[in-house]
Amino acid sequence: MKQFRKTLCLVAAVFAVLFASCSKNTSAGMKNGTYTGTGEGKGGDISVEITVKGGAVKDIKVLSHNETPGFDKAMETLKEQVIKTGTTALDTVSGCTLTSKGFLQAVGAAITQAGGNPEMNAAKTAGSIKKEAKEQSCDVVIIGAGGAGLAAAIEAKNAGADILVLEKMPMAGGNTLISGAEMAAPNNWIQQRDGITDSPEQFAKDMMKGGDNINNPELVNVIARNALDGAKWLRDECGVVWEDSLMFFGGHSVKRSLIPAGASGKELITKMLAKAESLKIPILYKTAALELIQDKDGRVTGVIAESDTVKYTLYAKKAVIIASGGFGSNIEMRKKYNPAVDEAILSTNTVGSTGDGITMAEKIGAALTDMEYIQTYPICDPLTGTLLYFDDARLYGHSVIVNKEGKRFVEELGRRDVISMAIKAQTGHCCYEIIDQRGFDESHLQANHAPEINYLMKNNLLTKADTLEKAAEFFGIDQKEVVETVKRYNTYVAKGKDEEFNKRSMVHPIEQAPFYILKAVPAVHHTMGGIKINTKAQVLKADGSAIPGLFAAGEVTGGVHGKNRLGSDAIADIIVFGRIAGKNAAQ
Ligand code: ADP
């Protein structure tokens, strides 16, 4: 995180110098007309066109961008603020830092072209706004518009409830949006086509084993039995498109994980949001739930929430559902429950994952469980902690992972926690993932994740070379050793048996130039612990009784994944329990 901040400060400093050079101009001095500007966002260039009338910016159009859907909402928020205040010296939208910076940089460049100073009216943004008090009432209030919250919202609405969703970020999606969103679903249609034998029982066994058998078996069984139905519901009810192949995630005994179109959470969230919109489900964005309201008998009857301008008292006639995600971005909370997961470890999570729901529920007597189990994801950006979709290559079985000495040190399809810890123990606490051109193509990296590939190349985190030696040289990896390692691996592929690490799926040898090497580190990815629930998604107290009127679903809950969550089990969890919570809350 520190490194990330450093990078951002550097970027900010560059902008400051850039803008300072035109500080003699004023916004008022801008000439009427339209002007374009370009800035660098997370997905590459952001181009905008501004319209200047009467010396002020009257309109801003985004001409092109490649930002993640959802994150682009940050640009709408900033557009309003720039037009209102006449300055680009604004705070970035939290959770969308790079998109915000790119947008403001583009607008700033256009203002400069118009003869203005983009930071001229910075003082106008200062000052506090007195919040208006508002009361509202509905049947069910849902906290969080990630995967679990949206699934709950759609089901509750379909069951006839009048609902309201609160989302503290300017966009929906949470960690679900930025995940690969693969979903474990035993006995799915692709397994049947490909002759893969599977069952809910086998999936439940894998989940238990993956969690070192401390998971709550009742919750595990609910997920295992309902995951396939959840995947079909996403397809048939929400329009989610599943790709025609499966991924093999570490710790699963068979290939059973469905891949959404584009291999990212964008597909799930855009389709679920569209469904929610078609059902006219209201979502209050930039509105954070702060505390739960209870009546004198302890029944949860509402939520206190707050936006920039309004303090809400929201009454829920039937129930409140907490679907506010985990606490991977809350360093203090991480350290409280597991001191080893401190600020030195980056996080893949959105900034919204601060454990608010856990804190609110605990305050009214909910029991928490497994809080110390915090999972790191092995293949993340060494600069920012972002989970890297390049890792699809590993999950398709195409890559080998080596250390600086050019040696393999772990089974590439093992459990995330095992791979992460193994990486931490290597030189530089990092690893190098190697694929060839065939692995690159067959993992659909260019088609699905081109902006990430460009970003990685630009930041010297990914290299491509005609020979393995040259690629290894780029990172200072032992060239002779890496060539030997890959040669040996290729003999295992030919034999169908990995004699060193027993890799469970080896698709083809690594031999077709050019070769690619990615540098990666582990980062906090999923918090297994959270609010204790039963199979009806009711929130439980320490004595095992349910808190009336309160449900929870998704990463905010604990007990489902035990000590360690297997890849693609989170989507199964959030969809299955999100739907259960929605249906039951609407009763
Ligand atoms: P899950 O996978 O369990 O659905 P996500 O991380 O995908 O979890 O979604 C959780 C959502 O809840 C995120 O969009 C996050 O911004 C939102 N959220 C977190 N805390 C609050 C809060 N206090 N009020 C409203 N929304 C919240």
C-beta 150 within 6 A of ligand 1 = no
Q: How many angstroms does the Cα of residue 168 sit away from the middle of ligand 1? A: 7
Residue nearest atom 19 in ligand 1 by C-alpha distance: 324
> Got the DSSP string for 31-96?
PSEEEEEEEE-SSSEEEEEEEEETTEEEEEEEEE--PPTTTTHHHHHHHHHHHHHS-S--PPPTT-
pLDDT range class, residue 90, cuts 50, 70, 90: confident
Q: How many angstroms does the Cα of residue 324 sit away from the middle of ligand 1? A: 3
Q: How many angstroms does the Cα of residue 150 sit away from the middle of ligand 1? A: 10
pTM score, two decimals? 0.78
Overall average pLDDT of the 280-305 stretch: 98
Position 101 scores a pLDDT of: 87
Atom nearest to 578 CA in ligand 1: 4
Atom nearest to 305 CA in ligand 1: 24
Atom nearest to 570 CA in ligand 1: 2
Residue 446 confidence (pLDDT) above 80: yes
Residue 497 confidence (pLDDT) above 50: yes
Position 19 scores a pLDDT of: 37
Overall average pLDDT of the 204-217 stretch: 97
Q: For residue 306, what are the CA distances in angstroms to 31, 153, 285, 550?
A: 40, 20, 10, 20
Peptide bond into 200 cis (omega under 30): no
Residue 6 confidence (pLDDT) above 50: no
Q: How many angstroms does the Cα of residue 144 sit away from the middle of ligand 1? A: 4
Question: Model confidence over 62-76: pLDDT tens digits?
Answer: 998 887 767 777 888
C-beta 323 within 6 A of ligand 1 = yes
Please list the active-site residues. 416
C-beta 288 within 6 A of ligand 1 = yes
> Got the DSSP string for 419-471?
HHHHHHTSGGG-EEEEEEHHHHHHTTHHHHHHHHHHHHHHTTSEEEESSHHHH
Site to substitute for ligand 1 among 164, 168, 290, 557, most atoms within 8 A of C-beta: 168
Position 86 scores a pLDDT of: 85
Per the prediction, the chain carries an average pLDDT of 91
Position 89 scores a pLDDT of: 87
Residue 28 confidence (pLDDT) above 60: no
Domains of the chain: 30-125 (3.90.1010.20), 133-373+528-585 (3.50.50.60), 383-523 (3.90.700.10)
Position 124 scores a pLDDT of: 52
Q: Read off the DSSP letter of residue 583.
A: H
C-beta 330 within 6 A of ligand 1 = no
Position 129 scores a pLDDT of: 60
pLDDT range class, residue 121, cuts 50, 70, 90: low
The C-alpha torsion from 132 through 138 and 142 to 147, rounded to 10°, is -120
Question: Model confidence over 158-187: pLDDT tens digits?
Answer: 999 999 999 999 999 999 999 999 999 999
Residue 558 confidence (pLDDT) above 70: yes
Tokens representing 295?
């009546």
Overall average pLDDT of the 499-524 stretch: 95
